[in-house]
Structure 1
Amino acid sequence: MIKHFLKERRSWILLILSLEFLIVFIAYIDSAIPFLPVLYMVFLSLIIFAIFLTVRYHKETHFYKGLEDWESSLDLTGLPKGRSPFEKIIERSVISQTDSLKIEASSNRMTLEQEKDELLSWIHEVKTPLTAMSLMIERMEDSKLRANLRFEWLRIHLLLDQQLHQKRIPFMENDLYIEKTDLKPIIYSEIKTLQSWCMQKGIGFDVELGITDVLTDAKWLAFILRQLLTNAVKYSEASDIFIKSHLQYGRTILEVTDFGRGIDPRDLPRIFDKGFTSTTKHQDSAATGMGLYLAKKASQPLFIHIEVQSKLGEGTTFTLIFPKRNEFLHISGM
């Protein structure tokens, strides 16, 4: 702050020093003016000027130090009060702009909330004809056409489900209900949802659950597993997907292993990034890059840690590491 203050007052400092030098120079060249008394006066005036600068530094930088320390989060309570006329102009300007930003932020928030509610309403409305379409598809006699339509129906259903949960994730903690949950019905329900797609691709499931009970939210765990299983089926062909659970160091471990195309090592650090698809299959327009991102986002409030191991051309294993009971104390009070 001292450096900034001296830069701000540089012209005044140079003016005073120039005047003092001029006085000394005139006394030096004019023999009628006693040089030593003038030099003494200049020395005293410079000392007084230095004291004056020190006092002004503390007075004039108080407001600006307060601005530096002020956390600009549209909260005016910590805004320092201006003392000088110029500081009051700045204070009024900051208050005016902050109030304007508050109004704009509030308006944008209301617009986003309205758009979110409209989208959620639209998704729920679309689910009704989708259910009707599903029943109509099952009544079709042409098995090949039925399988193709069932697959396209499933794609629409999964995309709508992603959109629905993407809008809910920011408020996920308000919707959590942590309880003892049985993994078996959740896993088999998700497998059944993907059944038509798996039959089309010749994919089977091998489920081996050494541990079935976990402490979590059943609805959000189902969503996470849906993204992992969808990802496994999407990149597998005519092979089984293994789902296993076991206990390790007091934590439940759930593994989902496929033998599909695998993930390039350079892609592994980025697979949970929003919108990231792949560098090896970058032209794949069907990939949205949202499934794993949403799974990761949903796992965080549940204290579920997701790890991935993969070899290109050999397959991928996603590991869900569930938390211990005491990690949910501050959420559920259990």
Structure 2
Amino acid sequence: MTLETLKAVEDLPKAQLPLDEAYTALVNRMVAAEAQQVLDIKREQDDLEGLIKMWSHQMKIPISAMSLMFQTNQMNKQELQEQVFRLENDLNNLLSYLKYKRENDDYRFTKVSLKACVSSVIKTFSSQCIAKKIQISLMGDSEVITDIKWLGFCLSQVIDNAIKYSTSESEIRIIIKEQSIEIQDFGIGILPEDVPRLFEQGFTGFNGHEHEKATGLGLYMTKQILDKLSFDIEISSQIDQGTTVLLTKNK
């Protein structure tokens, strides 16, 4: 009799000898492990399906905005660029998430200049900063051993949020010290009850619901990846005063 032919654990003959009992216990463990594996796969499939639905809805927002511009013949180049960037950014985040889930050990550690890494990320958001007349100041530098691609991804999530929730003509300050990066904006802030849940998968909080700009996966992914990179992340915020995010390399 093989495990595949068993319809249930009860199909096993009643144990008579200690060896039979050991065999039954082993099969019980194998059946339980297989059942748990099936549940894990089902849960992962459900999570992925929910993710695709959520991200599809998110990507409909810039598509709808562009469609409205075409329908009303009110083409605004700057607004069109903004929506195209948002669409591309959401798509890239989705692909990065899928890659992260598929290749959880895809890390290459080298000596990295934090200033160079942050500067590269800032450049990708230059058009968004120009559109909202936001100034980003960058001070300091430090070198760490890390994966520049995935650290850049994490920084892009934090800086993207800082820009999204900043008011027009405001400032974002980025200060690099020894083994740390502090990103401070002076935007709408985060509700105190939302701060402890920011790293939960799918959590968007009040800001995400109110402004329809969040999938609830950016900071979740950021926390998971930063753990792999041996970085801590702390977020403090006050309503209508802004948010500060601190990334610190573990020694």
Same fold, judged at TM 0.5 (above): yes
Q: Which amino acid aligns with 2:197?
A: R
Residue 231 of structure 2 corresponds to residue 298 of structure 1: no
Which of 159, 166, 189 in structure 2 is aligned with 1:262? 189
- Could you say what secondary structure the match of 1:257 adopts? strand
Aligned partner of 1:83 in structure 2 is 16
Residue 141 of structure 2 corresponds to residue 214 of structure 1: no
CA distance in 2, matches of 1:182, 1:290: 27
CA distance in 2, matches of 1:99, 1:307: 39
Q: For residues 164-187 of structure 1, give each alpha carbon's deviation from its aligned partner in whole angstroms, at most 9, with x where no partner exists.
A: 221222355521111100122321
Q: Which amino acid aligns with 1:316?
A: T
- Retained in 2: the 8 A contact 1:169–1:297? no
- Retained in 1: the 8 A contact 2:208–2:214? no
Aligned partner of 2:173 in structure 1 is 242
- Retained in 1: the 8 A contact 2:133–2:170? yes
CA distance in 2, matches of 1:152, 1:254: 29
- Retained in 1: the 8 A contact 2:115–2:176? no
Q: For residues 91-144 of structure 1, give each alpha carbon's deviation from its aligned partner in whole angstroms, at most 9, with x where no partner exists.
A: 39x569829947x849x59x96xx99xx9xxxxxxxxxxxxxxxxxxxxxxxx7
- Retained in 2: the 8 A contact 1:231–1:291? no
- Could you say what secondary structure the match of 1:300 adopts? helix
CA distance in 1, matches of 2:135, 2:235: 21
**Which structure would you say has the larger Rg?**
1
- Retained in 1: the 8 A contact 2:189–2:241? yes
1:151 and 1:246, CA in 2 relative to 1: closer, same or farther beyond 3 A? same
CA distance in 2, matches of 1:182, 1:280: 33
Shift of 1:283: 3.7
- Could you say what secondary structure the match of 1:254 adopts? strand
1:226 and 1:280, CA in 2 relative to 1: closer, same or farther beyond 3 A? closer
Residue 96 of structure 2 corresponds to residue 165 of structure 1: yes
Aligned partner of 2:83 in structure 1 is 152
Q: Which amino acid aligns with 2:16?
A: R
1:292 and 1:184, CA in 2 relative to 1: closer, same or farther beyond 3 A? same
Unaligned runs of 5+ in 1: 1-80, 120-143, 325-334
Q: With structure 1 as the length reference, what TM-score do the two structures score?
A: 0.54
- Retained in 1: the 8 A contact 2:162–2:185? yes
Q: Which amino acid aligns with 1:182?
A: S
What RMSD over aligned residues (CA atoms) do the two structures have, in Å?
3.4
- Retained in 1: the 8 A contact 2:232–2:249? yes
Q: % of aligned pairs identical?
A: 32
CA distance in 1, matches of 2:250, 2:92: 26
- Retained in 2: the 8 A contact 1:181–1:215? yes
Aligned partner of 1:323 in structure 2 is 250
Shift of 1:281: 6.1
Which of 192, 201, 207 in structure 1 is aligned with 2:123? 192
CA distance in 2, matches of 1:281, 1:167: 22
Residue 210 of structure 2 corresponds to residue 279 of structure 1: no
- Could you say what secondary structure the match of 2:234 adopts? strand
Q: Which amino acid aligns with 2:232?
A: H
Shift of 1:235: 0.1
Q: Which amino acid aligns with 2:31?
A: T
Q: Which amino acid aligns with 2:165?
A: Y
1:1-334 matched pairs, under 5 angstroms? 82-83=15-16, 91=24, 98=31, 101=34, 105=38, 145-170=76-101, 172-209=103-140, 211-237=141-167, 238-247=169-178, 252-279=179-206, 282-324=209-251
- Could you say what secondary structure the match of 2:211 adopts? coil
CA distance in 1, matches of 2:234, 2:33: 45
- Retained in 1: the 8 A contact 2:208–2:215? no
- Could you say what secondary structure the match of 1:162 adopts? helix
Q: Which has the higher contact order (CA 8 A, sep 6+)?
A: 2
* Equivalences, count: 207
CA distance in 2, matches of 1:241, 1:196: 15
- Could you say what secondary structure the match of 1:275 adopts? coil
Q: For residues 242-281 of structure 1, give each alpha carbon's deviation from its aligned partner in whole angstroms, at most 9, with x where no partner exists.
A: 111112xxxx121000000111111110111111112366
- Retained in 1: the 8 A contact 2:159–2:183? yes
Q: With structure 2 as the length reference, what TM-score do the two structures score?
A: 0.71
CA distance in 2, matches of 1:216, 1:97: 39
